[in-house]
Chains A and B, each alone.
Chain A
Amino acid sequence: MRLKHLTARVFGNGGMIFAAVAPVLAVLVAFPLLFVILQAVFPDIARGIFANPFSRFVETLFDKHLFHWTLNTLMLGGSVVLVSALVAVPLGVLRGLFRIPFAGLWDVVFLVPFTIPPYIAALGWIMALQPRGYLEQITGINFGGFLFSFWGVVFVMTLNVFPVVYFAVSRMVASIGGRYLEAARVAGCPPMRSFWRITLPLTTPAIAASLLLVFAMAIEEFGTPAALAARSGFLVLVTGIEQRLSDYPIDLPGASLLSVILVLIAMVAFMVQNRIVSRRDFQTVSGKPGAMRPAELGAWRIPVVVFFAVIGFLSAAMPILSVVLTASTRTISGGLAADNFSTDNFAEIFANSGGAMEALGTSLLLGLGAALITGILGTMTAYVVVRQRTVSSRILDFLTLMPNTIPGVVVAVGLILAWNQPWLPITPYNTIGILVLAYCCLLLPYPVRYANAALRQVSVSLEDAARVAGAGGIKVFFRILMPLIFPSILAAMLLVFAVAARELVATILLAPIGTKTVALFIWRQFEQGSVGMGMAMSVMAIAITMTIPVAVAIWARKQGRLF
Chain B
Amino acid sequence: MKSFKTVLLAGFACLALSGTAMAQSVTVYTAGPGSLIEKLAAGFKDESGIDVNVFQATTGKVMARLEAESSNPMADVVVSASWKTATSFAKKDMLLDYTSANAKNVPDFLKGPGYVAQGISALAIAWNPKSGTPKPEDWTDLTKPEYKDLITMPDPAQSGSAYELVAALTSQPDLGWKLFDGLAANKMIVPGANAQALNPVLQGAKAVVFGAVDYIGLAQAAKGESIEVVFPKSGTVIAPRPMMILKTSAHQDEAKKFIDYVLSDAGQALVAKTQLMPARSDVKADRPLIADLKILEVDPKTDRKAVLDHFAKTFGME
Contacts and interface: CB of A to CB of B under 8 A. Distances in A.
B296 interface: no
Contacts of A48: 71
Contacts of B85: 248
Given A334-B226, A420-B69, A426-B16, A133 B61 contact: no
A528 B224 CA distance: 15
Nearest to B193: A246
Given A47-B71, A431-B18, A333 B64 contact: no
Given A247-B158, A248-B160, A409-B64, A428 B16 contact: yes
Nearest to A126: B199
A518 B309 CA distance: 37
26 contacts: A20-B1, A46-B71, A123-B199, A131-B204, A230-B191, A243-B158, A245-B61, A246-B60, A247-B60, A247-B159, A248-B63, A249-B88, A331-B224, A333-B227, A420-B72, A420-B74, A428-B16, A430-B74, A433-B11, A433-B15, A433-B16, A527-B58, A527-B195, A528-B219, A529-B223, A531-B199
Given A514-B54, A524-B56, A332 B203 contact: yes
A417 to B, nearest CB: 5
Contacts of B61: 245, 409, 508-509
B203 A333 contact: yes
How big is the A interface, by class? Answer: 35 or more
B65 interface: yes
Contacts of B219: 528-529
A242 interface: yes
Contacts of A511: 55
Given A332-B199, A428-B12, A252 B191 contact: no
A330 interface: yes
Contacts, number: 192
Contacts of B136: none
Interface string B2-16: 001100100111011
A147 to B, nearest CB: 11
A509 B57 contact: yes
B189 A133 contact: no
Interface of B: 1, 4-5, 8, 11-13, 15-16, 18-20, 27, 32-35, 53-61, 63-65, 67-72, 74, 80, 82, 84-85, 88, 128, 130, 155, 157-160, 163, 189-193, 195-196, 199-200, 202-205, 216, 219-220, 223-227, 315-318
Given A16-B1, A409-B61, A133 B226 contact: no
A235 B316 CA distance: 10
Residue from A133, A243, A416, A474 whose CB has the most chain B CB atoms within 10 Å: A416
Ranked nearest first, the 3 interchain pairs of A and B with the lowest CB-CB distance are: A333-B226, A431-B19, A433-B15
Contacts of B190: 230-231
B57 A508 contact: yes
A58 interface: no
